[in-house]
Amino acid sequence: MGIREIEVFRAVMTAGTTSKAAMLLGISQPAVSQAIRKLEEGAGLQLFVRARGRLVPTQEAAALMIDVDQLFVGFEAIEHRLKSLRHLGIGRLTIAVHPALGNSFLPRVLADFELAQRDMQVSLRVLSSREVHQQVSSGQCDFGLMADEMPVASLEHSAFLDSIGVVVMHASHPLAQRRVITPKDLAEVDFLALNPEDSSRHRLEAAMREAGVELKIRVETAYSHTLCELALLGVGVGFVNPVAVCDFMDRGLVVKPFSVDVRFASLLVFRPGKPLPENARQFIRAMRIRLDKDLKRLHQSLKV
């Protein structure tokens, strides 16, 4: 019993006669009858009763047809996938990104990349760095971007973002008149902080201890974007990822350089032994171009 005999059986059950089944399959009517006989002999069952030149399905044939239909649903799904790959190539990209870069930086890259012209589909998953690590390790995405607080010994990786953080506040805040913010400037202000496990917060707190300053933390959150929104609303002063501020500069958020080199770092991570498809490599190039543009725009504004 082979898949060809099963295919002929399904065609007869669907079409109702051997002649129509032969037309459906593009073979001769004798070839249909021969395949049915071979299937019956192999199964040791009578699947059809011959009556007046017609094949009438038995109860066994009806029962078998349920399983055959399920089998062919699987084949049709495979056929659909093959057609998609023919039309789109490897035109689907799955990316896992931590929120500092996933909330608005990646949407800007997607807009730059002109997905419709490339006939590409993208699944953008904005996740914690821990979840990004898990998704890349398990092969659920093509590549990931995560902060540097997670170990990367099990993944291939390269630096993506490594830039000094910036201080943000409302235009009415007294520190908005300063050209550069120092650790001592932050001693008495309501401070908006990233969560304690964030690696950039660890670096900031080390710099503050060295300066003999203790932060008066008013709000903690996992997201630089949330800190920017809070600062824009006048809740306090925050120290944030430089990429995150790009969405708020045109809304009036005041952005100032910090006198101490406290950095934010993001890593590109890949699963070992899994070559990147060409569309992923092109997308990473577009990410680096957009990052360069965003940081140049920010640095230019800090010089004004």
Check whether residue 69 and residue 126 sit in a common domain: no
User: For position 205, which CATH number holds?
Assistant: 3.40.190.10
CA-CA-CA-CA dihedral for 248, 102, 216, 198, to nearest 10: -150
Check whether residue 183 and residue 239 sit in a common domain: yes
Check whether residue 277 and residue 155 sit in a common domain: yes
**pLDDT tens track for 56-102:** 888 888 888 888 877 777 766 666 656 655 544 457 899 999 999 99
pLDDT at residue 183, rounded to an integer: 96
Check whether residue 150 and residue 280 sit in a common domain: yes
Check whether residue 167 and residue 260 sit in a common domain: yes
Check whether residue 67 and residue 205 sit in a common domain: no
Q: Which of 51-55, 82-86, 189-193, 253-257 has the lowest mean pLDDT?
A: 82-86
Check whether residue 179 and residue 110 sit in a common domain: no
Rounded CA-CA distance 230/241 in Å is 14
Query: Average per-residue pLDDT in the chain?
Result: 88
CA-CA distances (angstroms) from residue 239 to 11, 46, 261?
Answer: 68, 78, 12
Check whether residue 293 and residue 150 sit in a common domain: yes
Check whether residue 152 and residue 270 sit in a common domain: yes
Rounded CA-CA distance 36/164 in Å is 74
Check whether residue 117 and residue 245 sit in a common domain: no
Check whether residue 152 and residue 274 sit in a common domain: yes
Instruction: With cut-offs at 50, 70 and 90, classify the pLDDT of residue 23.
Output: confident
CA atoms within 13 A on the CB side of 139: 4
Closest to 281 in 3D by CA, of 161, 162, 143: 143
Range of the domain at 289: 92-161+266-303
**What domain count does the chain have?**
3
Where does a domain end: 56, 88, 120?
88
Check whether residue 135 and residue 66 sit in a common domain: no
Instruction: With cut-offs at 50, 70 and 90, classify the pLDDT of residue 213.
Output: very high
pTM over 0.75: no
* 8's tokens: 């002929």
